[in-house]
Structures are given as C-alpha cells and as structure tokens.
C-alpha cells in the first residue's frame, strides 16, 4: 500500500518536472525567435547605408518582432503571476458602456483591415457604475475578440452583453464573443484552454503565445466564473461567460 502511495507521489513529481521543462523549452523558443529577428535586423541596418530603400521594410519587421516579444513577455508574466496566486482583482466603480465603446474602437481597424464586420450588441440598460476590476475584465474580452478576429476571414465577429438578472446590489451579466471563422475541432476544444496549446501552429501569421485562453480562463476564476465554448469547424465559434457584479444605483446628488 505504501508502495502505491510512493509511486503516485513519484508520478506527480515527474509530471511537474516535465511540465516545467516543457514550459522552459517552449519559452526559450518563444522569446528567442523574435529576439533573434530583432538583433539580426539591427545588425543589417547598421551595416547598410542610411538611405537604403529597405529601411521601411526592415523597420516594419522590427516592429512586428518587438510587438510579438512584448506580447509574449506580458503573457508569461501574467500567467506566472496568476499561477503563483499573485493577481488579485481590484474593485473600483467604472462605466461598462464606456469600457465596451473603447474596446470597440480598439478593434475597428483590425476588423476593417480583414473586411469582416465587427458587431457590438450591448444591453442598453446597463447601470453606469459597476464595481469590479475593469482592467482584467477588459483583458479577458480583449483576448477573446482578438482571437475571434484572428481566426475569421469572412463574415463577422460579434460581442454581446446581456443583463440576466438584477437584484438590489448585484447584477448578473452574460457575455458572448461569436465569430464566423475557422472553428475548433471538438477533440481540441478542451485543450485550447491549457497553457501553450495552439491548434494550428504552422500558421505563422496567426502565431500567438498559446497563453491567451489559459490566462482568460484563470482570470475568470478570479471573477468566480467559467468560460464555455461552442464551436464547429468551418462555421465558427462562440465563447461565453457570466459574471456577477456589485453595482451602484444611479447617482444620488450628494449635498456638500
């Protein structure tokens, strides 16, 4: 009996070691690739004469590589903070309508570029003061819309916010991010929420860190929520979640 317990412990330890070394080799690759690109381009530019026609092209690649590196490092920092339980949600009042409008503005250029429609369907009767962590909420929705646009070539990406229930001090909101993109095969659906999984890695254009959904899932746990996925290859995907927020009644004039 003792042997079985020991064996079990050993397997757990071995799995943890393997996960760690997978993480490290994955990370070295993720960081080294754009960094090599950046260093290489800097060398080329230093060797070339100042007015080279290549300059703009090189700068574009340089920007692409450094943006990617920045995204990888941010994701990894977030991810390790979450894993170490170092992220705590803030609780400040914010206007959800404003948050969603800013999000829309951020994504309009990307959607336009790909000639797909970006639809924001926001419940018109949301209170103007929700108390929560708007930065983390923004991060979750951003990850989902970013993916939706990334994996959609025709049709639309639609973000919906619906009020499900309102009590005296709390509000239940339902969020969906829907796309008409490539979809995700059923067998891959559970794994995409794990760290570093990418279903289609060969596609360079769509290369991300494979951390976005893992981060979103972990962040949603902090909101005491979970994420759901419905997807069909060739048709599209719908990601959804619900969050309960404290909110403030419309402002009452406060006497000075």
Binding site for ligand ADP (CB under 6 A): 143, 147-148, 151, 179, 181-184, 192, 197-200, 208-214, 237
**62 or 158: CB nearest ligand ADP:** 158
**Residue 232 C-beta: closest distance to ligand ADP, Å:** 11
**127 or 181: CB nearest ligand ADP:** 181
**131 or 231: CB nearest ligand ADP:** 231
**Residue 62 C-beta: closest distance to ligand ADP, Å:** 21
**8 or 200: CB nearest ligand ADP:** 200
Task: Give CA–CA dist 86/43, Å, rounded.
Answer: 39
**76 or 131: CB nearest ligand ADP:** 76
DSSP secondary structure string for all residues of 239-255: EEEEEEEEB-PSPPPPP
Give the pairing type, strands 117-122 and 156-166: parallel
**74 or 128: CB nearest ligand ADP:** 74
- Which residues lie closer than 8 Å to 198 by C-beta, 6 or more apart? 207, 208, 210
**Residue 132 C-beta: closest distance to ligand ADP, Å:** 22
User: 42: which 2 tokens?
Assistant: 């800097």
Comparing every residue's Cβ against ligand ADP, the nearest one is: 208
How big is the CA angle at 212 (ends 13 and 164), to the nearest 5 degrees?
A: 110
What is the distance in angstroms between the CA of the first residue and the CA of the last residue of the chain? 73
Residue ranges in 125-239 assigned as alpha helix (H): 134-150, 212-222
User: H or E segment at 232?
Assistant: strand 228-232
Task: Give CA–CA dist 170/168, Å, rounded.
Answer: 6
Residue with tokens 């983390």: 136
**62 or 145: CB nearest ligand ADP:** 145
User: 229: which 2 tokens?
Assistant: 């996925």
Strands, DSSP E only, in the chain? 92-94, 117-122, 130-132, 156-166, 170-179, 228-232, 236-246
Q: What are phi and psi of 18, to 5 degrees?
A: -65, -45
């Amino acid at each position: 009996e003792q042997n079985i317990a020991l064996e079990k412990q050993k397997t757990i330890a071995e799995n943890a070691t393997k996960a760690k070394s997978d993480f490290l080799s994955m990370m070295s690759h993720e960081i080294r690739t754009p960094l090599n690109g950046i260093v290489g381009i800097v060398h080329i530019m230093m060797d070339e004469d100042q007015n080279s026609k290549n300059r703009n092209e090189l700068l574009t690649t340089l920007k692409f590589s450094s943006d990617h590196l920045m995204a990888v490092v941010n994701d990894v920092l977030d991810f390790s903070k979450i894993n170490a339980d170092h992220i705590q949600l803030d609780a400040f009042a914010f206007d959800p309508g404003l948050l969603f409008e800013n999000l829309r503005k951020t994504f309009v250029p990307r959607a336009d570029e790909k000639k797909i429609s970006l639809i924001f369907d926001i419940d018109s009767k949301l209170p103007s003061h929700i108390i929560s962590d708007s930065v983390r909420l923004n991060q979750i929705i951003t990850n989902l819309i970013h993916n939706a646009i990334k994996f959609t070539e025709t049709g639309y990406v639609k973000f919906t916010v619906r009020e499900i229930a309102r009590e005296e001090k709390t509000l239940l909101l339902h969020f969906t991010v829907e796309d008409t993109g490539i979809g995700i095969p059923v067998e891959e659906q559970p794994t995409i929420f794990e760290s570093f999984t990418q279903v289609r890695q060969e596609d360079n254009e769509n290369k991300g860190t494979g951390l976005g959904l893992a981060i979103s899932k972990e962040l949603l746990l902090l909101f005491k929520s979970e994420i759901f996925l419905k997807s069909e290859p060739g048709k599209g995907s719908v990601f959804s979640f619900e969050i309960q927020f404290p909110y403030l009644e419309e402002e009452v004039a406060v006497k000075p």
